[in-house]
Structure 1
Amino acid sequence: MKTLIQKLPLDHASSFVARTYRTPYFETPWHQHIEIELVLMTESYGTAFIGDALIEYHTDDVYLLGENLPHWFRKADTHPTGASMVVHFTKDFWGQAFLELPEMDAIRTLLDFSVQGLRLQGELRRQIAGQLRSIEQQRGFAQLATLLDCLHQISQSSDYVLINQSPVLTYSTTDQAQIHTVMEYTMAHFQQKIRLEDVATLTHRSVSAFCQYFRKSTKKSYVQFLTEIRLAHACKLLTTTNLPVTQVCFESGFHNWANFSKHFKHQLGLPPSQYRRQHSSPQTL
């Protein structure tokens, strides 16, 4: 997918950047950068598009995003603000010779496949989250040691999932603005009927040309992308509200029950009502 290639500023006294991003909107354009990103979501929840994967993110999630892995985060409208603690560093920020030491084999391997994106889980997530909460206040060697320890812990664990099953292609900035416009339009209108003609017009392409471009860029059709967004919203409504399942169907942008039920079962592996029983908290049952 065409992306904004972002250049991140480095302080003259630091070899990497560790800082908190906080905004009422917490929305980033679809972008990529050569720096690897270790990120803790400290506030809010919403939708993330990482590589070719559309996922929901939540407070306290921790991600390791490799160099030039395109990503985009969008906060849910219901949450007043959004924030994340982010560490940006290049693959060889400590020097190529240090990276090639035999003691660095595991970390070097970790950084190689971080281009697929990692989502930490369980105790590993809790440990790394705790260290990231303190790293911004540290300085000098203490900060460097914390980052190195985080990478060491991740490299010695299997308590994570790969967000993409294979490395993701990266692209130039040529069509970044168009793709970002398509994403924003989709997020703003997915609960309504969306015509391919209207989306294609946003990119100044015919419907046929747009569909070919979108599939080539994202490895999925636009209709599949739209369906995934609608299903993600349906899952959120099923687990956080007491809305009738039929109302969830229409609130999520589906226009008939049969279509919703078919897509939901195909994507999630079980009917909506069963999904609600298995994933809802007691107060929403």
Structure 2
Amino acid sequence: MSHNIIDQGSLEVVVPKGNESIRWLEHGYPSTLARWHYHPEIEIHLIRESMGTMMAGDGMVPFAPGQVSLLGSNVPHNWISEIGPNEKTSIPNRDVACQVLPNRIQALAQIFPEAMQILTLLRRGDQAIVLRGQSAGRVASILTAMGAHHDLDRLIDLLEIFRIFVQAPRGEWTTVVTPGYQPEASPGMAERVNQALAYIKAHIGDCITLEDVAAQVAMDPSSFSRFFKRAAGINFSEMVCRLRTARASLLLVTTDLPIAQVRVMSGFRNAANFNRRFKMETGTTPRAYRQAHYH
């Protein structure tokens, strides 16, 4: 099975079992499946455990347990979990997903005009839809149960998931990717992006420079800066700041460490800059965030 499309990420070739057209899978983190990649199949994705950052196209949003998303065909994506100092180094049951080729749904809509609403949904899926509220909870339950289903039952599950996405109230969904986003199309893009992300994550509490990361992917700094912006839709320094904020958010809600120590462990050297960046990303101060979320 081959796909002649532009290399906009690491191509994942999906091969359903037997005669099934709907693939269901679950995996943990870290995993070879948890990386910056893309595939022709539409994907409905559930995060069962952990907090971190979702990357889709040129967008980045925080995620937490229960996040449900729908990704359109060939939208590059990745979920980066933040693992706290007192947590295990792996998350064995983090992800649940199902995947189906869009031409299957297009064929269905040709026969049943009632399914045209699903095609409209899938076009919106090119911007990566994230559900929340009751709609997210309903999809999460169906998607989890789908693993034990086959044949007609799995098809019914998929159609019910689409129905929930289509009928979700406007306040229960948002999109992540900028309309018209075009991913980087250079050879080896995914390998370099994943190397860069791995280095940033491993050194998030240290001083990270553009030159350091460029050296990891064997590029000169100016070329790497332009490449990273095209590939991830965000400049390098902004990516580092967002991942630092994600680390700080996790530490604030999962530990009782002093805020000053959280700041240092997240790589922020200056308290004023930490407070400014944190409020920019979360809408509140580190102290208020802890008071609202810490249990």
TM norm structure 1: 0.89
CA distance in 1, matches of 2:28, 2:235: 33
- Per the alignment, residue 53 of structure 2 pairs with 47
Q: Which amino acid aligns with 1:98?
A: A
- Per the alignment, residue 196 of structure 1 pairs with 210
C-alpha offsets along residues 91-120 of structure 1, whole Å, 9 cap, x if unaligned? Answer: 122552535743122211101110111111
SS state at 1:48 partner: strand
Superposed displacement of residue 205, structure 1: 1.9
Closer, same or farther in 2 for the Cα pair 1:117/1:43, shift >3 Å? same
Residue in structure 2 matching 1:110, options 121, 130, 134: 121
CA root-mean-square deviation: 2.2
Superposed displacement of residue 202, structure 1: 1.9
Report which stretch shifted further, 16-25 or 212-221. 16-25
Residue in structure 2 matching 1:164, options 153, 174, 177: 177
CA distance in 2, matches of 1:99, 1:168: 28
CA distance in 2, matches of 1:23, 1:256: 32
Residue in structure 2 matching 1:20, options 26, 47, 54: 26
C-alpha offsets along residues 34-68 of structure 1, whole Å, 9 cap, x if unaligned? Answer: 00101222344433322222333333221111111
Tell whether the 8 Å contact from 2:45 to 2:69 is kept in structure 1 after alignment: yes
Superposed displacement of residue 275, structure 1: 2.6
- Per the alignment, residue 165 of structure 2 pairs with 154
Report which stretch shifted further, 79-88 or 133-142. 79-88
Tell whether the 8 Å contact from 1:3 to 1:30 is kept in structure 2 after alignment: yes
CA distance in 2, matches of 1:40, 1:87: 9
Residue in structure 1 matching 2:282, options 264, 268, 277: 268
CA distance in 2, matches of 1:212, 1:100: 46
Tell whether the 8 Å contact from 1:69 to 1:168 is kept in structure 2 after alignment: no
Q: Among the aligned pairs, what percent are the same residue?
A: 26
Residue in structure 1 matching 2:142, options 131, 135, 139: 131
Tell whether the 8 Å contact from 2:189 to 2:231 is kept in structure 1 after alignment: no
SS state at 2:80 partner: strand
Report which stretch shifted further, 23-32 or 195-204. 23-32
User: 1:213 and 2:227 equivalent?
Assistant: yes
- Per the alignment, residue 131 of structure 2 pairs with 120
Contiguous gaps of at least 5 residues in structure 1: none
Tell whether the 8 Å contact from 1:46 to 1:57 is kept in structure 2 after alignment: yes
Tell whether the 8 Å contact from 2:43 to 2:98 is kept in structure 1 after alignment: yes
Tell whether the 8 Å contact from 1:10 to 1:16 is kept in structure 2 after alignment: yes
Report which stretch shifted further, 37-46 or 128-137. 37-46
Closer, same or farther in 2 for the Cα pair 1:217/1:139, shift >3 Å? closer
Report which stretch shifted further, 14-23 or 185-194. 14-23
CA distance in 1, matches of 2:101, 2:136: 22
Contiguous gaps of at least 5 residues in structure 2: 1-6
Q: Which amino acid aligns with 1:270?
A: T
User: 1:258 and 2:272 equivalent?
Assistant: yes
CA distance in 2, matches of 1:24, 1:165: 28
Q: Which amino acid aligns with 1:261?
A: N
Aligned length: 281
Closer, same or farther in 2 for the Cα pair 1:45/1:26, shift >3 Å? farther
C-alpha offsets along residues 185-241 of structure 1, whole Å, 9 cap, x if unaligned? Answer: 000001101122111112222211211222233332101100000011112222222
Residue in structure 2 matching 1:144, options 155, 167, 175: 155
Report which stretch shifted further, 167-176 or 67-76. 167-176
Report which stretch shifted further, 112-121 or 182-191. 112-121
Q: Which amino acid aligns with 1:163?
A: V
Q: Which amino acid aligns with 1:249?
A: R
Tell whether the 8 Å contact from 2:48 to 2:65 is kept in structure 1 after alignment: yes
Closer, same or farther in 2 for the Cα pair 1:233/1:99, shift >3 Å? farther
